[in-house]
Structure 1
Amino acid sequence: MPFHRVQPEKLSVAVTRQIEKLILRGILRPGERLPAERELAERLGVSRPSLRESLADLSDRGLLTSRAGAGIFVADVLGSAFSDALITLFASHDEAVFDYLSFRRDMEGLAAERAARMGSDTDLQVIQTVFEQMETAHSKRNPTDEAQLDADFHLAIIEASHNVIMLHMMRSMYQLLREGVFYNRQIMFKQRTTRSALLDQHRAINVALQARDPAASRVAVEAHLDYVETALAEDRKAERHEEIARQRYERVKGRV
């Protein structure tokens, strides 16, 4: 018969499993510092030797990393999502930018549907809170904060979809976005009218999610990303036109 005696689980193994789940579910994030050893042992209700055994195991497997004099941090496990060569290629071709937006449109539309259907009340409170922070940043005309909260808002929706594969995949994509690999989000906040339109689009997404309307949530996300794609295409066109205008100006100026 396919049975064997149940063995009691070591405390260090139980600690390892708990930390693994927190990383898997995106609750502990890359670069986040863990509490000091004494505090963490007290929170978990285990001895410091048991905790050290667990932390050593997680570090050996590349999930945690130690920094001399600073503590223990969640490893940047997202860094391996793309090779350096591919990241450089992405950054130098507009084709990658628009493929990225198309990919986001499909994935985030699905995530919004799932979040409206499967997200908990607390998940929706997180989304609502981030949106309110976006409104505050908008009123203060702070494009840097708005751009950061834009990413946080979309990631909150993905977290609320409760699909850990999608969560880590999209988080790696957003890391590249934050680093300006796909496009500089500040472009989207240059004009007051554009900033207002973007805020209205995020409001529509939030309203649909809070109403738990999966279809409307997906439509709102897709409309927002269609707008972003169009705005970026117009910006690229304006850059090309300006370059041509400069060349003409240099030619005319040379006649004087």
Structure 2
Amino acid sequence: MPFERIEPEKLAHAVVRQIEGLILRGILRPGERLPSERVLSDRLGVSRPSLREAIAALQGSGLLVARANSGIFVADVLGSAFSPALTRLFSSHSEAVFDALDFRRDMEGLAAHRAARLASDTDLAVVDAIFIKMETAHEKRDAANEARLDAEFHLAIIEASHNVVMLHMMRSMYDLLREGVFYNRQVMFDQRMTRTALLDQHRAINDALQSRDPVAAQGAIQTHLDFVRASLTDKLRAEQNEKTATKRLQHEQMR
């Protein structure tokens, strides 16, 4: 017969499954410190020996790490998939920057479409709260804070899509995304009109999400990243033209 006796699940196994689920869904993030053993055992309603057994199993599987005199942390193995050197290389070469923008356009468009359909009201409240902070940073002309919030806004949409594979893939690119966003925005910060256009585009994305319009949300993401790509192309072309003009002037002055 194919039946087997049902055995009660050990408390440690239940703890392992709960923590695994929190990591899988992106609620516990790479590098995040777990509460103390006393606090965590109280919150989970299990004994300290059961908790220690679960923590040991999660450390053995590589999901948690212990740091001397600091505590237990979610392993960085779920963090950036790119070394700092490769991230800098990507962000400093135009072909890689454009490829990253194209990748973001495709992935974030799908994420926005899913988020408009599947996000909870709380998910959308998070996106809206970040956008309000973007408006404040815009008024203060705080370039670094705007860039940070820009990245958080886009990642919040990916989180709201509730696709764990997409979530961890894009989380692993967070450093690359952050540096790419900062670079793109800094390049375009010369003109007030461009900064305003970027804010308006994020407003359109947020409005479409809050209205739960999947097609409009995907289109707004694509329009925004197309604008970023075109603006960056124009800026790089202008810089190259200036170099050529400078050489021409130098040559003319030497004649």
CA RMSD of aligned residues (A): 2.4
Q: Determine the structure 1 residue equivalent to 2:15.
A: 15
State the distance in 2 between where 1:141 and 1:88 align: 25
Q: Secondary structure at the match of 2:173?
A: helix
Question: Aligned pair in 2 of structure 1 residues 7, 221: CA closer, same or farther (>3 Å)?
Answer: same
Task: Answer with 242-251 or 109-118: which moved more.
Answer: 242-251
* 8 A Cα contact 1:98 1:229, kept in partner: yes
Cα offset for 1:3?
2.0
Question: Aligned pair in 2 of structure 1 residues 42, 181: CA closer, same or farther (>3 Å)?
Answer: same
Q: Determine the structure 1 residue equivalent to 2:141.
A: 141
Q: Secondary structure at the match of 1:32?
A: coil
Superposed, 1:24-35 pairs within 5 Å as: 24-35=24-35
Report the number of matched residues: 255
Q: Determine the structure 1 residue equivalent to 2:102.
A: 102
Question: Aligned pair in 2 of structure 1 residues 82, 45: CA closer, same or farther (>3 Å)?
Answer: same
Superposed, 1:1-150 pairs within 5 Å as: 1-79=1-79, 81-82=81-82, 87=87, 90-91=90-91, 93-150=93-150
Question: Aligned pair in 2 of structure 1 residues 179, 59: CA closer, same or farther (>3 Å)?
Answer: farther
Cα offset for 1:212?
0.7
State the distance in 1 between where 2:26 and 2:10 align: 25
Q: Secondary structure at the match of 1:73?
A: strand
Q: Determine the structure 1 residue equivalent to 2:191.
A: 191
Structure 2-normalised TM-score? 0.90
State the distance in 1 between where 2:190 and 2:76 align: 31
State the distance in 2 between where 1:185 and 1:54 align: 45
Q: Determine the structure 1 residue equivalent to 2:177.
A: 177
State the distance in 2 between where 1:126 and 1:88 align: 30
Q: Determine the structure 1 residue equivalent to 2:206.
A: 206
Question: Aligned pair in 2 of structure 1 residues 94, 27: CA closer, same or farther (>3 Å)?
Answer: same
* 8 A Cα contact 1:31 1:74, kept in partner: yes
State the distance in 1 between where 2:215 and 2:25 align: 25
Superposed, 1:210-225 pairs within 5 Å as: 210-225=210-225
State the distance in 2 between where 1:99 and 1:180 align: 11
State the distance in 1 between where 2:148 and 2:84 align: 24
* 8 A Cα contact 1:16 1:54, kept in partner: yes
Cα offset for 1:91?
4.5
* 8 A Cα contact 1:91 1:181, kept in partner: no
Identify unmatched segments of 5+ residues in structure 1: none
Identity %: 68
Cα offset for 1:235?
2.1
State the distance in 1 between where 2:77 and 2:37 align: 22
State the distance in 1 between where 2:134 and 2:192 align: 14
Structure 1-normalised TM-score? 0.90
State the distance in 1 between where 2:220 and 2:46 align: 47
* 8 A Cα contact 1:116 1:213, kept in partner: yes
